[in-house]
Structure 1
Amino acid sequence: MKMMQWGFLIIALSSTFLFYVWGKADVVRVGYELDQLSKQKLALEQEHDRLQIVFSQLTAMDRIAQEASRQLNMRAPAPGQVILVAGGFHKMPEQKTEPLRVARQDLIGEAH
C-alpha cells in the first residue's frame, strides 16, 4: 500500500512539474508572438503613414489641375464662361451655402 502512495505522489509531482514547464514554455511562445506582432504593427503604421503622404500628393488640387491640363488638354474656363448659381440641392439646414460655379456649355468651345 505504501508503494502505491509513493507512486501516486511521484505521478502527481511529475504532472505538476510538466504542467508548470508547459505553462512557462507557452508564456515564452506567446511573448515571441507578441514581439513579432508589435514589429508587424509598427511596419504597418509606417506603411500607412507613407501611403497617406502619397495620397495627399496625388489628390493635391495643383497636381490634379496639371494632370488634367497635360493628359486631357483641359484648362480653366475663361471669366465669361463661369456663372454662379445661388443655393443648391444639397443644402443642409446648418450649412452655409456658397454659389455653385458652373461653366456655360455654349461658351466652352469659344475659349479655344
Structure 2
Amino acid sequence: MKTPMELLKEFAPEFAQNQMDERALLFEHPNYQAIPGKYKLLIGIAAAAIAGSDTCTQMWVIMAKGQGVTNAEIVEAIMVARYMKQATVNDTVAGALAKLSGDAP
C-alpha cells in the first residue's frame, strides 16, 4: 500500500515537491533553527496525533527515533497532545455548558 506522500507524488508531483521543500526549509535552513530539530520532531508527533493521523504519527515517531529522540520523550509529547486535545474539547463545549448553567442567552 502506498503512503499518502507516495500517492501525492504520483498525482500531484509539484505539490509533493513543495511539501518536501518546506520540510527542508524548516529542518535544514540556517534561518529557521531557533527551535532545535528534536523539538520540531516532537511537535510533529503531537500535531499528527491531535490531527488524528495514525500514518503521520508513525512517520514522525520513526523520524524522531532516527534522530535519537527517546521513547520517554515521544510518550510525553503524545501525553501533551492528548492533554491539549482534551482542552480544546472543553473550549468547544463551553458555550453549550453555559447554556445548561443559564449563563448564556
TM-score, structure 1 normalization: 0.28
Higher-strand-fraction structure? 1
TM-score, structure 2 normalization: 0.29
Higher-helix-fraction structure? 2
